[in-house]
Amino acid sequence: MRWGAFTKLREMAADSFQSTVSVATDPFLSALAERWREMQQAPAASPAGVGFRPAREAAEMRRLCRQASAVGAPPDAIARVWRSLCGDMLVNRGLKTVYVSGGDIAQSIEAARGYFGFAPAIVPLVDIRDALDRADQTQGVVSCVPWPEHAGIGQWWPMLNENRFRNLYIVAGWPNLPGSPSVAPKMAVIGRIGMESSGDDDTLATAHDDHYMAERLLGDLGFKADVVARARSLALIRISEFVSVDDRRIELARKAGLDGLRIVGVRPRP
């Protein structure tokens, strides 16, 4: 090949990699950066010492994915970008370590990375109770453990009924997109984090249900509720709406016979 022809091919190849759109003028990237800045600057800090707003992050991710689909971009790729940005933001807002425990540890670490990206330190632990202890006792820490609806590896959830863990809540599940509201997540994010509604949520609760009346009693109060796991008399209940810990209907259900009913978590749906 003559030198002139080679030079022309090299110039054509270089041209093919040049950006055709300025990042500064791209409306989607500009909107993404602006929303990230707004959430990064939000002042709310949790009792865990982390400025973590999983409900807001989930609601924003839904919006970004809808916007991406409208312009032909893959929503799952946008979701991964958003979650990675949120992981960096959480480190800036106090997150020091994510402790991972339960199930196949390699898969659990991968799940934690899927939710938090590569900015936070991800540390595996053998015992789920140890992971809960770290989330409860250490500032700047959350834990990532198997989703409690799964048989076997998910059967740690009765620990949340212990007095020592009364300040811990499940605040998110992974994967959160792509996914289906009818399919339980693989992993739960848990910590001393306040629960908020993302606008489309399931709530998790525990109660003593010796007489198998939980679904009926909650239904009488207007809840669509399903018992999804049991450990002796203790039931794990999924409610198909966001329910705050101080919802007056919770106390009414206790008085109706659902002993020890307690909200333990929320799952922002995909």
**Considering the domain boundaries, does residue 1 fall inside one?**
no
**Considering the domain boundaries, does residue 250 fall inside one?**
yes
Residue 95: the pLDDT is 94
Q: Residue 68's domain spans which residues?
A: 47-268
Q: Which pLDDT tens digit goes with each residue over 124-154?
A: 999 999 999 999 999 999 999 999 999 888 8
**Considering the domain boundaries, does residue 92 fall inside one?**
yes
Angle at 183 between CA 177 and CA 187, to 5 degrees: 65
Q: How far is Cα 256 from Cα 12, in angstroms, rounded to an integer?
A: 76
**Considering the domain boundaries, does residue 35 fall inside one?**
no
**Considering the domain boundaries, does residue 31 fall inside one?**
no
CA distances from 106 to 13, 32, 100, 189 (A): 40, 31, 10, 17
Mean pLDDT, residues 215-242:
96
**Considering the domain boundaries, does residue 13 fall inside one?**
no
Q: Give the predicted TM-score (pTM) of the model.
A: 0.85
Question: How many domains, the chain?
Answer: 1
Mean pLDDT, residues 216-241:
96
Residue bearing the bigger pLDDT, 248 or 70: 248
CA distances from 227 to 32, 40, 161, 261, 263 (A): 39, 37, 16, 13, 14
Closest by CA to 171, choosing from 54, 46, 57, is: 54
pLDDT category at 39 given cuts 50, 70, 90 is: low
**Considering the domain boundaries, does residue 112 fall inside one?**
yes
**Considering the domain boundaries, does residue 66 fall inside one?**
yes
Q: How far is Cα 62 from Cα 115, in angstroms, rounded to an integer?
A: 15
Q: Work out the number of other CB atoms within 10 angstroms of the CB of residue 150.
A: 19
